[in-house]
Amino acid sequence: MRKITLLVTAAAAAMLAGAAFSQPPAGGPGGGGGRGPAQTPEQREAAFTAADANKDGKLDKAEFTKTLPEQMQANADMALMRRDANMDGSISKEEFMAAGGRGGPGGGGRGGPPPAG
């Protein structure tokens, strides 16, 4: 009898754990990749303008790093490379505003076909 009780309890715990792991991430739907909720175009433009300290219309690595969430700042080089479509070492407003990184919308990243090439 004791073994059956233990077995039933273990099975119930496993089912509850499975339900907990199947929940969406804390960032909510659309956040993806631990980045939190997606920003509106207006929020992205405001972030770009605020980060462009020297007002030259582009973000260097230091300026771009300030736009990243704290947990992503250690990966600023990788994030900069993904956004820097023309590989000039800085992020233009167009590159910053483009969804999906290097290729713009879709951009060969998640959610779209690779760019025609």
The string of pLDDT tens digits covering residues 34-66 is: 455 678 999 989 999 999 999 999 999 999 998
CB count in 10 Å sphere of residue 67: 20
Per-residue model confidence (pLDDT) at position 10:
64
SS3 label, residue 58: strand
- H or E element at residue 59: strand 58-59
Kindly list the domain boundaries of the chain, sorted by start residue.
Answer: 40-103
pLDDT grade for 20, boundaries at 50, 70 and 90: low
Tell me how far the alpha carbon of residue 82 is from its chain's centroid: 12
* Assigned CATH for 40-103: 1.10.238.10
| 59 φ, ψ (degrees, to nearest 5) | -110, 125
Quick one: pLDDT band at residue 106, thresholds 50, 70, 90?
Answer: very low
Is the pLDDT at 15 greater than 70? The verdict is: no
Residue with the bigger pLDDT between 5 and 103: it is: 5
